[in-house]
Amino acid sequence: MHQRISEDLKHKLDNIVNIPTLPQVLGKVTSMLQDPKVSAREVAAIISQDQALVTRVLKIVNSAFYGFARQIKTIDHALVILGFNRLKAAILTASVLEMFRADESVVPMDVAGFWEHSLGVGIMAKSIARHTRIPDTEEFFIAGLLHDVGKLVLAFYASDQYKLVVDKCNSESLFVREAEMQVLGFDHAVVGAWLFEKYNMPIDLVDVAGFHHSVTAYPGRGIQKISVVSLADMLARAMRIGNGGDTFVPDVSENILDMLNIDIFDVEAIIKLAMAQLSAANDFLNVIRGAQ
């Protein structure tokens, strides 16, 4: 359970944010992904019951970003080619995209810039994990890609209130979190954790969404992934990748560098690795944008 989400705050969010119910198949899939006893074949069988979800997942895995020469035509084929972890990342991405299929022209945020930044953080997080030899790098990619989902929730489902946030952020040159706290009384991190809890998403996604701006406040044992995504967010901002909601670049935390046993030379190598991957990511961005 996310420490900062009191029952009163959950009630307030329920009243402010008119979030849709997760479709039945997606709800079942997200629950299954948290069960270590569930097989990949069982998950694939459930996904195959929802043709729209199958289509979205296959669009993602067939993007040039994944780099497969031959087209993947079925979920079972994707499972064989990608493996369960990479397929799981595609499923979670498709699940989140389903929630944000509105007219972007009425959304008070730079949606294209948001996704470019989010993808940059995902790639940067995966690069940090790879450079530091942390296993399951695909899980770091998905955690980075979805870390700021709270901003999307507010922009799409509480757009009037979030327009006030964006206006205040721009007119007073504030960090977006500062503007959120002043206007709403809470920030996008809390909203992201609330959404992922509500939709029964994996607990590591709940924690990353909730604590990527406050790593040292995290009370649990999964601090490594939160630290990686927090650092990835700082580096993506430093490299001006996409739109993180404001124009500021936060200082890279020495505590996080120490925690991950990373120095400035490691940071340079990580950025170089990530930027090389970003150059091949336009197709993935187009798939994400097209899914909305």
Kindly give, in sequence order, each residue whose CB lies less than 8 Å from that of residue 292, ignoring residues fewer than 6 positions away: 97, 100, 101, 102, 104, 111
DSSP single-letter state for residue 99: T
The pLDDT tens digits for 2-15 are 445 667 777 778 77
Q: What residues does each domain of the chain span? A: 7-17+104-290, 21-98
Question: For the segment 99-147, what is each residue's pLDDT rounded down to a tens digit?
Answer: 777 667 778 999 889 999 999 999 999 999 999 999 989 899 999 999 9
168 pLDDT more than 90: yes
d(CA 119, CA 288): 10
Residue 195 and residue 155 in contact, taking contact as beta carbons nearer than 8 Å: no
Q: What is the pLDDT of residue 47?
A: 87
Would you say 209 and 146 are in contact if contact means Cβ atoms under 8 Å apart? yes
pLDDT score at 39: 84
- CATH fold of 7-17+104-290, please? Hypothetical protein af1432 (1.10.3210)
Is residue 291 pLDDT above 60, yes or no? no
CA 82/CA 114 separation, integer angstroms: 27
Q: Which residues of 17-41 are buried (b: 16+ CB within 10 A; e: fewer)?
A: bebeebeebbebbbebbeeeeeebe
Angstrom distance (rounded) from CA 158 to CA 26: 23
Write down the pLDDT at residue 207. Answer: 94
Q: Is 292 buried (19+), middle (13-18) or exposed (0-12) by CB count in 10 A?
A: middle
